A and B are shown apart, each in its own frame.
Chain A
């Protein structure tokens, strides 16, 4: 029997076990929406296409599955771009489907035509324009394969309207042939052996754990490695949760706003084992001052990350779970007692700290949230000071509990990503930590959350300004503040109520502590507007051009 390409597309999604898609309809994608009538796949109507992309992203981060979003041609497609770029930077598996004008009109500046495959070349792992109706199933199969294997990322399929309405015989391929795509999964045995030797010879090893651990589901192997060789573990923003936050070997985040002891440990170590981390400039700061005395072992599935920013001694290209599995038997138990004593000393000497006096402190809010949240709660942040405080003060026992826009640093990520996260993990508490700036970038998605009856727990760290930029202006522009103070301030509690949530405003520590257990336990959606100290800075902070162990504190 013949079916339309649009129907075939939906059948392909069913074959890929897609349970829900996030999207926003329009003319060019009409046939696909029509085909949604005949499926059990649930469509989540967002309020802006950026929200569809971030929601698919949040869903993917929590579930480990491929997130799917849909938009129409032209403005629908361009509205997705921030969301696609965000997923690309953070290596999130996503399939993006856009409608396109009919093939006869492509290239004519037709109504709502944009060259979305051209535009998204730099921000997708790959993309496809469907020209031959019979190729659709193969293309979808390729898209899911590319998105979810190797180093994951977003893949876009642009589907012209006339192609979507053609009829084809549907057959979903079992495998695909991509001659130019062969990710290396197994680490090279001789490299693994050498790594084992370097580690066994080291006296001051440190593990630098990144988002690749979460992607590879390699937390158990990471834990075994750390305990076997008694190496302290520092993590990137993306690696938070990959190593238990209550473990004695846990060092917290490194880098720009990392803990002083993590940065100092990296500076003093003689062996740095980078696992699924990409030596981002937020982490490394001045290259010559980064782990200057260490032999660096870099385990990453993407060969292009190796040696890109920092010179390393030993590369191992492969999947971290696989590589760590091969490495562990090569290692023997190590104690490193003097090194661990040094680490304990650093932790005592340079703890995270803030002034607890005065008005409600943003750090206190995240600390208390950390205290009251349950172990499996998912925390989603936006971008700014609140994000860094959450990364510094919150602890997780497992990965996929902390979602944040790291590589792109896209304000507006939080609310839609929380929508996606909650839909991906309906039985878990989803807490958002968001700034009063960032919430206003995508707050229309409160409508999506209300429609889907999602009991999100939204905590706005309201400093009535763009706190992170204010901090930058303090440090780099001699406190000349431009365009950082809002002159009009919204009553966020009231905003929450308008969307059917319980809305509260808290101004003191006591109010917060009284409210927290109650709102976190409540089955209702809640928005808590926390009026926090507008003068607080995120510290420690490594200034431009400094070494990571020279942070201002």
Chain B
């Protein structure tokens, strides 16, 4: 089963290497990993998608927790959450194909962000299902390049998957 982990980490140098290294060292497979700052500059949020059974996920969780920079991990897979991924796709587009492609762009509520003589570059955001569907419908035209950000996710409603006011000043004396 695929699990989505919302992970809060201290924004320290090397934290990405620590997390990524842990996954490769312990033989855990990452499907995707997205990382960025939160509203607190000292804290970053990671969304990690990882595939495995419950026992495996338990180890992933516990090993991640052992990293001192990891503040909090929530496996939100079974909760209601919103997830989004942004994808850039460069697709071959001769003049006779453009109308058709633009129609698809419309249907999927994507956006054309660059127009070249023989290609279009399209931006699309959405969840997994939408993105795969869009990718499949563009495939016949010839996808020349595709880049995905990896998924970011957040719980629905008022509850926070990540609370990031965890940083207090060091108590000096």
Contact = CB atoms under 8 A, between A and B. Distances in A.
A180 B172 contact: no
Q: How large is the interface on A (under 10, 10 to 19, 20 to 34, 35 or more residues)?
A: 20 to 34
Given A174-B171, A303-B65, A179 B17 contact: no
Contact of B68 (A138, A146, A171, A173): A146
Contacts of A146: 68
B10 A121 contact: no
B167 A173 contact: no
A322 B68 CA distance: 23
B117 interface: no
Interface stretch (B55-63, B94-102, B139-147): B55-63
Interface string B120-142: 00000000000000000000000
A125 B9 CA distance: 16
Contacts of B67: 126, 180
A302 interface: yes
Interface residues of B, number: 29
B59 A304 contact: yes
A117 B169 CA distance: 25
A416 to B, nearest CB: 27
Nearest to A137: B172
A118 B168 CA distance: 27
B111 to A, nearest CB: 38
A441 interface: no
A171 B172 contact: yes
A176 interface: yes
B13 interface: yes
Contact of B171 (A129, A175, A178): A175
Contacts of A171: 172-173
B21 A138 contact: no
Contacts of A131: 13
A131 B12 CA distance: 11
B55 A181 contact: no
B21 A308 contact: no
Interface of B: 9-10, 13-14, 17-18, 21, 25, 55, 58-59, 62-63, 65-72, 166-173
Given A131-B13, A179-B10, A180-B9, 7 more contacts: A121-B14, A121-B17, A173-B170, A176-B170, A178-B68, A179-B167, A304-B63
